[in-house]
Structure 1
Amino acid sequence: MSSSLNSDEKIATLEDGKVDNAYRAEVSPDEVIVRRFGKFGGVLGKLFASGVEARGVERVLEEDRENKNVWNNLLMWFSVNAVLTTVPIGVLAQQFFTLTLPHAIAVILCFGALGAAGTAFIATLGPQTGLRTMIIARYSSGYVGGTIYSILNILTQLGFSTTCVILGGQTLASVNPGTLPLVVGIIIVAICSLIPCFVGYNLVHVYERYAWIVTFIIFIMLYALGGKAGYDISAQKPLEDTGKDYIADVLSFGGIVFGSLTGWGPIAADYNCKLPATTSSVKVFTMTFFGLWIPVCFVEILGAALMTITDPAYVAAFGDGNTGALLAQTLTQWHGFGKFILVLLAMSVIANNIPNTYSAGLSMQALGRPFAMVPRVFWTVLAFVIYTVAGVAGREHFSTILSNFLAVLSYWTAFFIVVTLEEHVLFRRKSGPLGGYNLDDYDTPSKLPLGVAGVLAGCIGAAGAVVGMAQTYYVGPIAAKLGPFGGDLGFELAAAFTAVSFPPLRYLEIRLTGR
């Protein structure tokens, strides 16, 4: 492609799709979008000029990257996870799985570390490639496989967002019961989540860099207030299962904890793809790991601890699973100031919901070139509408949605991380069969892997999840061997089945197709 074309000719060529991706990157995304949408493009041009991010899933070239401190990774994930939404996960340890507090803590620490490690690895690929996570998936599973993962990720992020807005709305409604309808609370939280995502990458990072400070202090206060109300470490002891049933409880709760961390895996590279390619992968991994593991463990353990308080007022407040009311009861000791803290806590879910909303829009673009041609901001708004409606519809079933959603979430994220890891380590290393990533090929199906190996390995992983899962609606044959309700081994078997099947399938695919 001749470099002598002027800007208008380049954009026209891009619109025709007759261009390779190296050339595509020479033209800024906002120029292409404005030209593509004719009269409406003028409106978009004004949005972009005012600071709204035009870039979607296009690769970020090295010269366009920003030399940001890798410590931002740590602070961002702190803000995302040191939030109200993390509390109910710890609550589930006693609510559904009858685990005592010491056992709940052990499960949170161990399974949390495992999930954080998987997500931290995915994060290291952002600076190395300059690509969003769902686009990176194309290098292991092809264009079709990447599309399948994008669909799963859209459902994941919308599911996360739904639980966020419900819990935030519940908590706002608990400040002065009877004054603010739950539906209104949900809508308030959803709109506040949309604003940074609409603007884009830079505002997302600015918000997340500081949001954790207030919420982390609030959680320390809640620990203290709960202690004043009286933690009873032995409160759950008479109810705790034994033998196979106890093992089943540990595995099932562990799967939920694991899913709460690996749920960020399919979006982890989205937030550091503008870091220079020379950024240390060890630093990115370390910052991401501790940015996930520390706040998740800290807040989930708080949720488990609050469930040991035997005061009748606390038991009544929790009722049928209203974590917001439980926290409101904890803060009643501070009267009016406690209500102010509760409002801040309710709004903390915004930090958690921002990456869900932002990445849901990117995953919609990653469904294929026709979707990528639609501006990112449109998909972001669509994601907002979907999860707000879902939150309003499912507002009375928060605990059920949370427990079922997070457990199932851990299944697909487990085999996604395994496929991406093995592709990177076995096939994309410099001395491997493919010798690295040809990053200019990210949107050229004919140059990407066929995807048969990745898709088949994912299906095999899904089969492992089916035989190992233990949900209210289905218990797999292996899971059924662990007690009457089953012990959830879904994510472990999904990862194991995928890990064994992907390498030989991928070696065969490379041998037959050369890519």
Structure 2
Amino acid sequence: MSPSPTQSYEDKEKNPVVPDKLEASPDDVIINRFSFMGPVLSKLFASGVEARGVERVPEDQREKKNMWNNLLMWWSVNTVLTTLPIGVLGQEFFTLTLPHTIATIFCFAALGAVATSFIATLGPQTGLRTMIITRYSSGYVGCTIYSVLNILTQLGFSVVAVILGGQTLASINPGTLPLVAGVVIVGIGSLIPCFIGIDIIWSTTTSATRGWSLFIVMLFLLGLGGHAGFDINAQKEFEDKGKALSSDILSFGGIVFGSVAGWAPVAADYNCRLPANTPPIKIFALTFFGLFIPITFVEIVGAALMTITKPEYTDAFENGGTGRLLGQVLSPWKGGGKFILFLLAFSVIANNVPNTYSAALSIQSLGRPFAKIPRFFWTLVIFVAYTVAGGAGREHFSEILSNFLAILSYWTAFFIVIVAEEHFIFRRPGGRLGGYNLDDWDTPSRLPYGIAGILAGCFGVAGAVVGMAEVWYVGPIGVKAGAEFGADLGFELAAAFAGITYPVFRWLEIHYTGR
């Protein structure tokens, strides 16, 4: 008996079915599609290169993995150099004191971790990549829009990673390695595991040794910084008061939220091969702590380093950014310090690997013509794009980071809300739709039209526009909520506007279209 096209994942779990024949492997499908390259592709796949792209992973092709790998993966990709500068921004751009910076990091990182952890639970339940899941709320067209946004998001993260990694490599022996060469080196290091695929990504990012070794390196930075002298009141005379202070906290909070919730659009990509009966609460908890603990800790280390007031440290930051500051912090250890700087520079590869891998999947999610081209080819395209962009923007790291993360938080906020409301209101057992028709993931005629998701997304954009506070634009609500430069309420209003309108639009869409 073949699976019913309307059978939800809850039904399949209770009454599993046995298909008439096994689904053709992704390897065979791609080899047949590109028969003229068959021998080359066969050798690639035989050597371990992953063939599967955005295709759904059927229940009989799932793998049982150690659940703790979920925590280790997120721990590994966030206990890295890339996370440090986010904490630095609290003092660099918003003149917050260390206590206010730490409090903001804790609150907004927790919010972002909750959102991302929820998205992660959908991977085992559906067997789908994150962007494909959006087809069940926003239709084929809506999925295409989200995929474009996610491609830009992952490219932005990648640009930040390669610039910072290159910056740090160049600071090991100033004057010997051009910054652009450092950017290229880090980019190539990120490409290799993504080209091969998910198995090597799991093996490299779930290494407990790697995750803990970088955590210890962060402790070294904290200890050496403390030896140089943290001054908890270093920013006190510069910190704003009253309404201006709340503006700074909200604006910095949006950046912190974006640094954590930025993983939400890819969170299900790394769980879709887990068994469908994997307890969602376990996925949620392990993802939450795998994100929250390392991100808050590393960002706080970055914030603490900004309180060192010795001239050689402040000069290092002003002249070479975070990379040069780290070089100064590690300078008392001489050769040992340079070795640690080398480890930190290459740690960004672990952070950049999920960006590259998921960006390639998002290109495939744009539609069937893109999905027909093998995933590994798109990783090459992504690599070229972010390496070129990183080389071009290498002198403007802090500006790229602050503006990118703030804007990132806007669209991820309404994306998360729309997917969550579809899941808990309309797809819940006993809801209007009663589950996901998982066999329809690539059949536009059986998916929602997406009118509700697209309209709610437009309202989310409107909320972001009226609430945002950037250097180049401050929305009318952002102006009133803050002082001189406004307060960034972009992601909060984006989530609120989409959250209020989506259930209404979706109810109407189901009522009049039946899907």
Paired position in structure 2 for 1:483: 483
Amino acid at match of 1:484: E
1:423 Cα offset (Å): 0.3
1:253-280 deviation digits (Å, cap 9, x = unpaired) = 0000000011000000000101101101
SS of alignment partner, residue 303 of structure 2: helix
Cα gap change, 1:93 to 1:2, in 2 (>3 Å) = closer
Q: Which residue of structure 2 lines up, in the alignment, with residue 14 of structure 1?
A: none
User: Per-residue CA shift, 1:419-468, capped at 9, x if unaligned?
Assistant: 00000000000110001001000000000000000000000000000000
What's the secondary structure of 1:67's corresponding residue?
coil
Q: Corresponding residue for 1:98?
A: 95
CA distance in 1 between partners of 2:248 and 2:2 (Å): 63
> Counterpart in 2 of 1:372?
371
**In structure 2, what is the Cα distance between the partners aligned to 1:137 and 1:178?**
48
Contact 1:129 / 1:439 at 8 angstroms: preserved in 2? yes
Deviation at 1:41, TM superposition (A): 2.6
How far apart, CA to CA, are the structure 2 residues paired with 1:275 and 1:305? Answer: 39
CA contact 1:321–1:399 (8 Å) conserved in 2: no
Percent identity, aligned pairs only, is 69
The list of structure 1 runs, each at least 4 consecutive aligned residues, that deviate by more than 2 angstroms after superposition, is 22-25
Match of 2:6 in 1: none
Any idea what the Cα deviations from partners look like across 1:202-260, whole Å, max 9, x if unmatched?
10010001231221110011010000000000110000001111011000000000000
- What is the match of residue 506 of structure 1? 506
Equivalent-residue separation in structure 2 for 1:385 and 1:497 (angstroms)? 37
Q: What does residue 18 of structure 1 align with?
A: none
Which letter maps to 1:115? G
Amino acid at match of 1:70: M
1:508 maps to a residue whose letter is L
How far, CA to CA, are the matches of 1:33 and 1:511 in structure 2? Answer: 40
Residues 91 and 235 in structure 2, CA contact (< 8 A), matched pair in contact too: yes
TM-score (normalizing by structure 2): 0.95
Select the residue among 16, 31, 34 that pairs with 2:31.
34
Separation (CA, whole Å) in 2 of partners of 1:72 and 1:417: 24
> Are 1:324 and 2:323 matched, yes or no?
yes
The one-character-per-residue Cα deviations of 1:121-178 (angstroms, maximum 9, x if unpaired) are 0000000000000000100000000010000000000000000000000000000000
Report the CA distance between 1:320 and its aligned residue.
5.1
**Given the alignment of the two structures, is residue 46 of structure 1 paired with residue 43 of structure 2, yes or no?**
yes
**318-327 vs 54-63, greater mean Cα deviation:** 318-327
Q: CA 1:117–1:25 in structure 2 vs 1: closer, same or farther (change >3 Å)?
A: farther
Distance in structure 2 (CA, Å) of the matches to 1:419 and 1:443: 20
Contact 1:25–1:58, Cα closer than 8 Å, also in 2: no
What secondary structure is seen at the aligned counterpart in 1 of 2:487? Answer: coil
CA contact (8 A) 1:122 1:269 kept: yes
Q: Name the aligned partner's letter for residue 128 of structure 2.
A: L
CA contact (8 A) 1:321 1:398 kept: no
Partner of 1:143: 140
How far is 1:2 from its partner?
10
**Is 1:179–2:176 an aligned residue pair?**
yes
Superposed, which structure 2 residues align to 1:88-167 within 5 Å? Answer: 88-167=85-164
Match of 2:262 in 1: 263
Pair 1:359-2:362 in alignment: no
**Could you say which residue in structure 1 is the equivalent of 2:471?**
472
Q: Deviations over 1:268-314 (max 9, x none)?
A: 00001011011010000000001000000000000100000001010
- Judge conservation of contact 1:244–1:483 (CA < 8 Å) in 2: yes
Equivalent position of 1:304 in the other structure: 303
Alpha-carbon distance change, 377 to 160 in structure 1, aligned in 2, over 3 angstroms? same
Partner of 2:429: 430
User: Which residue is 2:392 aligned to?
Assistant: 393
Give the deviation of 1:25 after TM superposition.
Answer: 7.4
* 1:287 aligned residue: 286
Cα displacement (A) at 1:484: 1.2
Equivalent in 74, 99, 105 of residue 77 of structure 1: 74
The one-letter amino acid paired with 2:106 is L
Conserved 8 A contact 1:107-1:254: yes
RMSD of aligned residue pairs (Cα, Å): 1.4
The alpha-carbon distance between structure 1 residues 84 and 147, as it changes in their structure 2 partners (threshold 3 A), is same
Aligned residue-pair number: 497
1:77-121 deviation line (CA, Å, top 9, x unaligned): 001111000000000000000000000000000000000000000
State how 1:437-456 maps to structure 2 within 5 Å: 437-456=436-455
**What is the alpha-carbon distance in structure 2 between the residues aligned to residue 508 and residue 473 of structure 1?**
38
User: Which residue does 1:458 correspond to in 2?
Assistant: 457
Distance 1:291 1:375 in 2: 31
Q: Is the 8 A contact 2:403 2:470 kept in 1?
A: yes
Instruction: Give the drift of 1:24.
Output: 11
Q: What corresponds to 2:14 in structure 1?
A: none
Partner AA of 1:95 in structure 2 = E
Q: CA deviation at 1:69?
A: 1.5
CA distance in 2, matches of 1:229, 1:508: 62
Contact conserved, 1:144 with 1:451, CA < 8 A, in 2? yes
Contact 2:251 2:487 in 1 (8 A): yes
Greater alpha carbon shift after TM alignment, 277-286 vs 311-320: 311-320
